[in-house]
């Protein structure tokens, strides 16, 4: 059996239109997650400290940061506030 590298597998798999659509639908939530993790790390804040500031259990923050849970808008706003940030959003034409 030939072993396929992850990138090759991903490229081949995303040729399937249904899978590609589902994958693209997850892009925005994962970009938001990566940005909030980056901000937490840049702030030298631990997950425990963020949990204390937001009232969100550390286990939930861990699941969110590991991509095992897509957060609600309310949770994203609480995390942004806990990081000392203000959440803003916009919708733009493509």
Examine residue 48 and state whether it is found in any structural domain, yes or no: yes
Q: Is residue 1 part of a domain?
A: no
- pLDDT for the residue 76: 93
Give the model's pLDDT for residue 2.
57
Residue 35 located in a structural domain: yes
User: Is 69 domain-assigned?
Assistant: yes
Q: What is the pLDDT of residues 30-67, one digit of tens each?
A: 888 889 999 999 999 999 999 999 999 999 999 989 98
**Residue 36 resides in a domain:** yes
Tokens 């938001």 sit at which residue?
A: 32
Q: Is 58 exposed, middle or buried (0-12, 13-18, 19+ CB in 10 A)?
A: middle
In terms of pLDDT, which residue wins out, 17 or 48? 48
Q: Is residue 8 part of a domain?
A: no
* Boundaries of domain holding 25: 16-82
Better-predicted residue by pLDDT, 16 or 1: 16
Give me the CATH number covering residue 75: 1.10.260.40
């Amino acid at each position: 059996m030939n072993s396929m590298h992850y990138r090759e597998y991903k490229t081949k798999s995303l040729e399937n239109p249904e899978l590609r659509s589902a994958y693209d639908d997850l892009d925005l939530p994962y970009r938001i997650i990566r940005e909030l993790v980056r901000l937490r790390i840049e702030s030298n804040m631990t997950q425990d400290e963020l949990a204390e500031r937001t009232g969100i259990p550390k286990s939930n923050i861990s699941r969110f940061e590991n991509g095992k849970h897509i957060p609600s808008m309310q949770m994203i706003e609480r995390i942004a506030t806990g990081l000392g940030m203000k959440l803003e959003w916009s919708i733009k034409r493509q």
